[in-house]
Chain A
Amino acid sequence: AQTVTQSQPEMSVQEAETVTLSCTYDTSESDYYLFWYKQPPSRQMILVIRQEAYKQQNATENRFSVNFQKAAKSFSLKISDSQLGDAAMYFCAYRRQGGSEKLVFGKGMKLTVNP
């Protein structure tokens, strides 16, 4: 079974600084997708960024970028120029290609942004 591990339950960062959130996963599949979701206090799940496993290039969305290391099964999220609105729970998620296509989530990490 696939598993997703977020080993750091909480992190903090100063406004305008850069922070990296770590995620590792375990799978025997070769074709899959990885996602980072943000959950602010409103509890809405918001997709931040996604990565297709077959792509070697790391995904980037504005201030958010990932470091995808397929061999190491590592998928970290870097937030640059942190803003107060980035404060939230962040969840790493995995989805295999085919089957139920369910998302397998990590336990989440709480990010605090200090002014």
Chain B
Amino acid sequence: DADVTQTPRNRITKTGKRIMLECSQTKGHDRMYWYRQDPGLGLRLIYYSFDVKDINKGEISDGYSVSRQAQAKFSLSLESAIPNQIALYFCATSDSGRGYNEQFFGPGTRLTVL
């Protein structure tokens, strides 16, 4: 079983719709992240959370919001989807107790906005 799971794997929505992407992990890690991958741009950080009560904006948070429902769950919402949010979205986790804090990635969610 995958340690970091994302649902759905693919999502097609219409402009203006609100959608939620979900991430859950069984690794017991305290830190969770949401990244966005655009072709030719690598991955960029949207939001990150060091624990349930600690949520912070990343470099491209406009148009997004997050919820850390539990240590194992971190959801990303697009309040009103627009075509320039078409991308591959990754959730990642890490353990603050380990020196190098390796980030483990989920399988990604491909989002299409019509």
Contact = CB atoms under 8 A, between A and B. Distances in A.
A73 interface: no
Interface string B36-79: 00001111110010000000101100000000000000000000
Contacts of B103: 47, 103
B68 to A, nearest CB: 15
A95 interface: yes
A105 B104 CA distance: 15
Nearest to B94: A101
B102 A50 contact: yes
B58 A100 contact: yes
B15 interface: no
> B-side binding surface: helix, strand, loop or mixed?
strand
Nearest to B103: A103
A43 B107 contact: yes
Contact of A102 (B58, B100, B108): B58
A27 to B, nearest CB: 16
Range of interface residues on B (Cβ < 8 Å): 20 to 34
Contacts of A42: 107
A91 B105 CA distance: 14
B31 A101 contact: yes
Contact of A45 (B40, B45, B105): B105
B26 interface: no
B42 A107 contact: yes
A102 B102 contact: no
Interface of B: 31, 33, 35, 40-45, 48, 56, 58-59, 88, 90, 92, 94, 99-105, 107-108, 110
24 contacts: A33-B100, A42-B107, A43-B107, A43-B110, A45-B92, A45-B105, A46-B105, A47-B103, A47-B104, A50-B100, A50-B102, A52-B99, A52-B100, A91-B42, A100-B48, A100-B58, A101-B31, A102-B48, A102-B59, A103-B43, A103-B92, A103-B103, A107-B40, A108-B40
